[in-house]
Amino acid sequence: MGASIEEMGRTTADARRLLQARAPVLVRGAVKDWRAVSAWSFEYLRDRLASTILEVEAYDVVAARLEPLELRRMTFGDYYARLKSVSTERLFIAETDITRSVPSILNDIEVPELIPTTESSRSLLFCGVDSLTPLHYHEAEHALLCQVRGTKRLLLSSPRKTRVMRPHRWYSLRRNFSRLSVEAWANSGSIGLDLAAAEPLECVLQPGDALFIPVHWWHAARGIDASISVTFFWPAARSHWAFPTPGVRTFWGSKSERLLRLFGRTLSSTRTIRLASCIARWVGIVDDAAALEADLKKGRI
Ligand SMILES: O=C(O)CCC(=O)C(=O)O
Residue from 229, 232, 234 whose mutation best tests the ligand 1 pocket (most atoms within 8 A of CB): 229
Q: Which has the minimum average pLDDT: 56-70, 110-124, 192-206, 260-274? A: 56-70
Residues 219 and 284 in one domain: no
Lowest mean pLDDT among 53-62, 77-86, 129-138, 292-301: 292-301
Q: Is 70 exceeded by the pLDDT of residue 65?
A: no
Please state the atom number of ligand 1 nearest to the C-alpha of residue 138.
10
Query: Which CATH number do you get for residue 50?
Result: 2.60.120.650
- Compute the mean pLDDT over every residue in the chain, rounded to the nearest whole number: 88
Task: Give 108-111 contacts, CB < 8 A, sequence gap 24+.
Answer: 108/34, 108/35, 108/36, 108/39, 108/40, 109/31, 109/34, 109/35, 109/36, 109/146, 109/148, 109/230, 110/31, 110/34, 111/232
- Residues 198 and 150 placed together within one structural domain of the fold: yes
Report the number of distinct structural domains present in the chain: 2
Whether pLDDT at 64 is above 60: no
Instruction: Kindly state whether residues 271 and 215 are assigned to the same domain.
Output: no
pLDDT band per the 50, 70, 90 thresholds, residue 19: confident
- Asked whether residue 231 carries a pLDDT value surpassing 90, the answer given is yes
Q: What is the pLDDT of residue 30?
A: 93
CA 131 – ligand 1 centroid, Å: 10
Ligand 1: centre distance to CA 129 (Å): 14
Rounded to an integer, what distance in angstroms lies between the CA atom of residue 161 and that of residue 147?
Answer: 26
What mean pLDDT is predicted for residues 219-233? 96
Mark whether 176 and 261 lie in a shared domain. Answer: no
* Count, residues in the chain: 301
Q: Which of 219, 227, 233 most suits a substitution to test ligand 1, by most atoms within 8 Å of the C-beta? A: 219
| pLDDT of 63 higher than 70 | no
Q: What is the pTM of this model?
A: 0.90
Average pLDDT over residues 281-291: 77
The backbone torsions φ and ψ at residue 5, rounded to the nearest 5 degrees and listed phi first, read: -100, 150
The answer on 255 and 240 residing in a single domain is no
Q: Are both 120 and 135 inside the same structural domain?
A: yes
Determine whether the shortest distance from the Cβ of 131 to ligand 1 is under 6 A: yes
Average pLDDT, integer, range 226-237: 96
Model confidence at 66: pLDDT above 60 = no
Question: What separation in Å is there between the alpha carbon of 150 and the centre of ligand 1?
Answer: 14
Judging by DSSP bridges, how do beta strands 122-129 and 132-136 pair with one another? Answer: unpaired
Q: How far, rounded to the nearest angstrom, does the alpha carbon of residue 44 sit from its chain's CA centroid? A: 23
Q: What is the pLDDT of residue 54?
A: 96
Together in a domain, 89 and 183: yes
**Of 206, 208, 210, 137, nearest to 174 (Cα)?**
137
Same-domain status, 96 and 227: yes
In the prediction, which pLDDT does 41 show?
97
> Is the C-beta atom of 54 inside 6 A of ligand 1?
no
Both 137 and 18 in one domain: the answer is yes
Q: What is the b/e burial string over 192-214, where b = at least 16 CB atoms within 10 angstroms of the residue's CB?
A: eeebeebebbbbebebbbbbbbb
**Is 170's pLDDT higher than 80?**
yes
102 phi, psi to nearest 5 deg: -135, 55
Q: Which of the two residues, 292 and 255, has the higher pLDDT score?
A: 255
**Is 12 a residue whose pLDDT tops 70?**
no
- 180 burial (CB, 10 Å; 0-12 / 13-18 / 19+) is buried
Secondary structure class of 31 (helix, strand, coil): coil
**Is there a single domain that holds both residue 229 and residue 275?**
no
Q: Which domain does 99 fall in, by range?
A: 3-245
Minimum mean pLDDT among 16-25, 130-139, 285-294: which range? 285-294
What proportion of the chain, given as a percentage, has pLDDT over 70? Answer: 93
229: helix, coil or strand?
strand
Residues 186, 277: one domain?
no
Sequence-ordered list of residues with C-beta below 8 angstroms from that of 134, at least 6 positions apart, any chain: 65, 66, 177, 178, 181, 182, 220
Instruction: pLDDT band for 249, please (50, 70, 90 cuts).
Output: very high
Instruction: Decide whether any atom of ligand 1 lies within 6 Å of the 123 Cβ.
Output: no
Atom of ligand 1 nearest to the CA of 152: 1
Average pLDDT over residues 165-188: 92
CA of 230 to the centre of ligand 1 (A): 9
Distance between CA atoms of residues 88 and 69, nearest Å:
15
Band of pLDDT at residue 138, cut at 50, 70 and 90: very high
CA of 102 to the centre of ligand 1 (A): 18
CB environment 105-134: b (16+ within 10 A), e (fewer): beebbeebebbeeeeebebbbbbbeebbbb
Residues 100 and 12 in one domain: yes
Query: Looking at 34-38, 135-139, 141-145, 185-189, which range is the least confident one?
Result: 185-189
Residue 209: what pLDDT? 96
Measured from the Cα of 227, ligand 1's closest atom is 1
Q: What is the pLDDT of residues 70-123, one digit of tens each?
A: 789 999 999 999 987 767 778 999 999 999 999 999 999 999 988 887 778 999
Task: Please give the pLDDT value at position 67.
Answer: 58
Q: 270 CA to middle of ligand 1, Å?
A: 36
At residue 79, the pLDDT reads: 95
Greater model confidence, 287 or 255: 255
